[in-house]
Amino acid sequence: MNIKPLTDVLSVSPQIAIAELPAIKAQGFRSIICNRPDGEDAGQPSFEDVSAAAKAEGLEVVWQPVVRVSDEDAQAFAQSLAELPAPTLAYCRSGTRCSTLWALSQAASGAMSTNEILAATSAAGYDLSGMAQKLSGQA
């Protein structure tokens, strides 16, 4: 597992394996958001399989497949975060899509400055500096 915290209540990661779900639960996560469409890569577990295994561990799960990140996707991501029990693990192919959704949601809500958002994503290993203008509302 390659789980990277963005905040105290949200971490992101690349694709998780079904066998990792007990360890994810043991790390204290209470919910999962999957931002990956089924069939994106060969051998990727289906959301249905991940969801069933996660629910068996007592985790709440939301599927929000995203191909091209939009402001609407970021709003839906923020709504899921607000409704799900924390802490939450969000995953996609690499974690970048989840980080981008979070960054846009934080910028839209005004909860964090652009510099704070970029510092959090950078600390987690995701360089979103190319989005600085959009995050600051200048794009």
Does 23 map to a domain?
A: yes
CATH (domain of 93): 3.90.190.10
Does some domain include residue 63?
Answer: yes
pLDDT score recorded for residue 7: 95
Any domain includes 80: yes
Residue 74 lies in a domain: yes
Q: Kindly state whether residue 136 falls inside one of the protein's structural domains.
A: no
For the chain, the straight-line distance linking the first and the last C-alpha, in angstroms and rounded, comes to 35
In a domain, 83, yes or no: yes
What pTM, to 2 d.p., does this model score?
Answer: 0.94
Q: What's the number of domains the chain is made of?
A: 1
Q: Does residue 61 fall inside a structural domain? A: yes
Domain that holds residue 73: 4-100
> Is the residue at 87 inside a domain?
yes
Q: What is the pLDDT of residue 138?
A: 55
Question: pLDDT digits over 19-76, tens only?
Answer: 999 999 999 999 999 999 999 998 899 999 999 999 999 999 999 999 999 999 999 9
pLDDT digits (tens, 9 = 90+) for 85-139: 999 999 999 999 999 999 999 999 988 999 999 999 999 999 999 999 989 875 5
